[in-house]
Structure 1
Amino acid sequence: MKTSDLQALGFEGDSFFFIDQTRLPFEEVKVRSNDYERISLAIERLEIRGAPAIGCAAAYALALSYKQGNKEIFHNAYERLKRTRPTAVNLFHGLDTIYTVLSSGGDYNDCINTALAYHQADAQSCRSISVFGGELLAGKKNPITICNTGAFAVGGEGTALGVIKQLHKVNPLRLITACETRPLLQGARLTAFELDKAGLPFRLIADSASAFFMDRGEIDFAIAGADRIAANGDTANKIGTLMLAQLCSIYKIPFYIAAPFSTIDAEISSGAAIPVEFRSPSELHSARGVQITSGTYPAANPAFDVTPSHLISGIITDKGFYSYPYAFSK
């Protein structure tokens, strides 16, 4: 499977499908479901993950909940879905897009067609981010990235990983460094999988090895995605992103964020107002089902951290490139 053929989720023959990302890279399992509760669980369990992909899945799930024309079920689905992953602002964009259709007198077909259009718009957004990023970073050869920001995270080819792919297409990269991304290993399981499928030159490293390779001069820029960006540019992303940005600041390496403009939440002034999801301590007690320490040990497991805007060299969106200081408005 080429990454250009990879579709993490979609709508076929009147049913929603997604690739269960928790089974990768060893199994490629396609799940079909029109049940909003099953899709909600998939989002919570990270079978579907990545802020834009969550937004697309939520839009499909809410639209499907209205198949019988029951508004009570629709409203229950809306309330259930919005509780799944509170940090990702795209979740609420996807839900509100469908909610507005029904509130305006639309029917089931209108809801489904709007979900399809929302998905297609995200794919186009990814293409624009890749082009803008490719132009901005032309000539760079050795990126480092964290988590997974490719086709599994979005409705298209990717955000930060989409930029990396575009750079390689125009002028082959020397070496891409992918952080493993503890505790759930999205870098090791998903980004490495995508890079391998695409035939791009890469290496996988422990998150804690980032400074080692920066110190050796083997990294010339860092790029990450975003789950929510505040009006002042503060950015919530996968845990470990803040550490990466701080290291880049020390080593004078540019650090970029690549995300759809819809990921900007201009209603919040700074990152202090971004809700950070804490996940089960059990994700630290075990790795891929193998117990690595006692389940009785206390553990704290934030899924995201917030990088202050002054550490971000630029934010690449589908509407163009923005540099510090940031002042996004509604």
Structure 2
Amino acid sequence: MRPIQAVDTVSFDGTEVTMLDQTLLPVQQVRLTIRDTPQMHEAIRSLRVRGAPAIGVAAAFGLWLGVRDLPDDLPRDEAEARLRGEQTFLAGARPTAVNLTWALERCAAEALRAPGGTAALKQAALDAAIRLRANEEATTRQIGEHGAGLLMGLSGVLTHCNAGSAATVGLGTALAPIYVAAERGHLLRVFADETRPLLQGARITAWELQEAGVPVTVITDSMAAVVMRQGKVGAVIVGCDRVAANGDVANKIGTYGVALLARAHGLPFYVAGPTSTIDLATPDGDHIEIEQRAPHEVTHHGGVPMAPEGVDVFNPAFDVTPAEYVSAIITEKGVVYPPYTQGLKDVKA
């Protein structure tokens, strides 16, 4: 099979920062031009760009946009204060995915280390964002190479939410091993949970797999157990928004339930993500802040009410899967197996 063509999620053409508006998929493929940090903050918060690696890259460019138009002769200390202010603002867009704060701190630190005045700081911020994007693209390929071997010989896998090319700036995380296996001549059928309430699996995962020529079947979240029991899948593979030091994994809401089902049916449950998603400062899943989102995401679909007006809604964007249900964590540095405490330290070193 020909090499997989990655979705162009966030890019810089030398002048403008653009991104694919994922809220419009699969019906429309619209690219947005992002001109300042408020626009970038809104894009991240409203899920126009989503997926932990992708929002990290987006925020890195947002940091540069926040200082791009500062006068070159502005005192350096004032420029540094502006940079830190924009960093704090962007970091508040979404709380669960550690890649957001990690990317911002990494790029801010590089800019602040640059010698010279404000012009040098601005250029360093841009260079850092461009370098981060290139590194993340390479990382997804490495995740695919390390994870493909775990899937060879299987006829089908199940995934939840979207952890593919659209969630990164490369091949993806959970879908990267599937894409690399396809390039090696082994096509797996992917069963994609629709992923309520925002349907990232039905809208985005199915779209990008179909575009890539990988067989995909969309199922409702409540059908996962039946698919497993009927032997249609031999493994589950998902992405992650944060991995705690003990191996607990935060991912899209519903992932925990899928992990429990996989255990009940004797299936391996794999998690794929870059080492930047591993947060050794967070001891376990109980210390991961879970984003709570607006009630209308649950009560409405396409602007149409689907529940009684005024009903109470619980809408966490993520849940935490305990490490005991995770068979392996696939990173760009290799596959980590339980117990995770030392293995995660090793790949972060």
User: 2: distance between equivalents of 1:291 and 1:183?
Assistant: 13
User: Does structure 1 conserve the Cα–Cα contact (< 8 Å) formed by 2:235 and 2:267?
Assistant: yes
Deviates more, 1:149-158 or 1:249-258: 149-158
Deviates more, 1:109-118 or 1:285-294: 285-294
User: Does structure 2 conserve the Cα–Cα contact (< 8 Å) formed by 1:255 and 1:312?
Assistant: yes
Q: Which residue of 1 aligns with 2:28?
A: 27
* Larger of the two Rg values belongs to structure: 2
User: Does structure 2 conserve the Cα–Cα contact (< 8 Å) formed by 1:180 and 1:187?
Assistant: yes
Q: Which residue of 1 aligns with 2:164?
A: 150
Name the % identity. Answer: 39
State the 1:151 CA deviation. 1.4
User: 2: distance between equivalents of 1:320 and 1:260?
Assistant: 10
49 and 95 in structure 1: CA distance in 2 versus 1, 3 angstrom threshold: same
User: Does structure 2 conserve the Cα–Cα contact (< 8 Å) formed by 1:233 and 1:270?
Assistant: yes
String of CA shifts for 1:51-82, please: whole Å, max 9, x gaps. 00010001000012111334443233112111
State the 1:35 CA deviation. 0.6
Deviates more, 1:174-183 or 1:41-50: 174-183
For 1:53-202, what aligned pairs fall within 5 Å after superposition?
A: 53-69=54-70, 70-105=79-114, 106-202=120-216
State the 1:97 CA deviation. 1.3
State the 1:5 CA deviation. 5.0
**Is 2:286 the counterpart of 1:286?**
no
| Residue in structure 1 matching 2:289, options 275, 285, 302 | 275
216 and 136 in structure 1: CA distance in 2 versus 1, 3 angstrom threshold: closer
Q: Which residue of 2 aligns with 1:325?
A: 339
State the 1:325 CA deviation. 1.1
198 and 307 in structure 1: CA distance in 2 versus 1, 3 angstrom threshold: same
Q: Which residue of 1 aligns with 2:9?
A: 8
Q: Which secondary structure does the structure 2 equivalent of 1:59 belong to?
A: helix
Report the TM-score, using the length of structure 1 for normalisation. Answer: 0.96
**Is 2:242 the counterpart of 1:207?**
no
State the 1:289 CA deviation. 2.1
User: 1: distance between equivalents of 2:57 and 2:87?
Assistant: 14
User: 1: distance between equivalents of 2:338 and 2:270?
Assistant: 11
74 and 317 in structure 1: CA distance in 2 versus 1, 3 angstrom threshold: same
User: 2: distance between equivalents of 1:201 and 1:93?
Assistant: 35
CA RMSD between the two structures: 1.4
User: Does structure 1 conserve the Cα–Cα contact (< 8 Å) formed by 2:4 and 2:179?
Assistant: no
State the 1:140 CA deviation. 1.7
Deviates more, 1:61-70 or 1:128-137: 61-70
| 1:101 partner amino acid | E
Q: Which residue of 2 aligns with 1:241?
A: 255
User: 1: distance between equivalents of 2:127 and 2:107?
Assistant: 10
Q: Which secondary structure does the structure 2 equivalent of 1:236 belong to?
A: strand
Q: Which secondary structure does the structure 2 equivalent of 1:17 belong to?
A: strand
5 and 315 in structure 1: CA distance in 2 versus 1, 3 angstrom threshold: closer
User: Does structure 2 conserve the Cα–Cα contact (< 8 Å) formed by 1:3 and 1:151?
Assistant: no
| 1:86 partner amino acid | P
Q: Which residue of 1 aligns with 2:240?
A: 226
Query: Any stretches of 5+ residues in structure 2 without a counterpart?
Result: 71-78, 115-119
Q: Which secondary structure does the structure 1 equivalent of 2:67 belong to?
A: coil
The number of residues matched between the two structures is 329
State the 1:26 CA deviation. 0.3
User: 2: distance between equivalents of 1:239 and 1:323?
Assistant: 24
For 1:46-57, what aligned pairs fall within 5 Å after superposition?
A: 46-57=47-58
User: 2: distance between equivalents of 1:108 and 1:11?
Assistant: 15
String of CA shifts for 1:112-149, please: whole Å, max 9, x gaps. 01100001100000000000001232212210001111
| 2:8 partner amino acid | Q
User: Does structure 2 conserve the Cα–Cα contact (< 8 Å) formed by 1:222 and 1:253?
Assistant: yes
State the 1:174 CA deviation. 4.6
Q: Which secondary structure does the structure 1 equivalent of 2:5 belong to?
A: helix
| 2:221 partner amino acid | D
Query: Any stretches of 5+ residues in structure 1 without a counterpart?
Result: none
User: 1: distance between equivalents of 2:14 and 2:305?
Assistant: 41
Q: Which residue of 1 aligns with 2:18?
A: 17
| 2:129 partner amino acid | A
User: 1: distance between equivalents of 2:174 and 2:14?
Assistant: 31
| 1:219 partner amino acid | V
| 2:155 partner amino acid | K
User: 2: distance between equivalents of 1:73 and 1:297?
Assistant: 42
State the 1:283 CA deviation. 0.5
String of CA shifts for 1:129-176, please: whole Å, max 9, x gaps. 000001232212210001111111011111111111112222433521
User: 2: distance between equivalents of 1:5 and 1:53?
Assistant: 13
User: Does structure 2 conserve the Cα–Cα contact (< 8 Å) formed by 1:176 and 1:203?
Assistant: yes
State the 1:290 CA deviation. 1.9
User: Does structure 2 conserve the Cα–Cα contact (< 8 Å) formed by 1:282 and 1:295?
Assistant: no
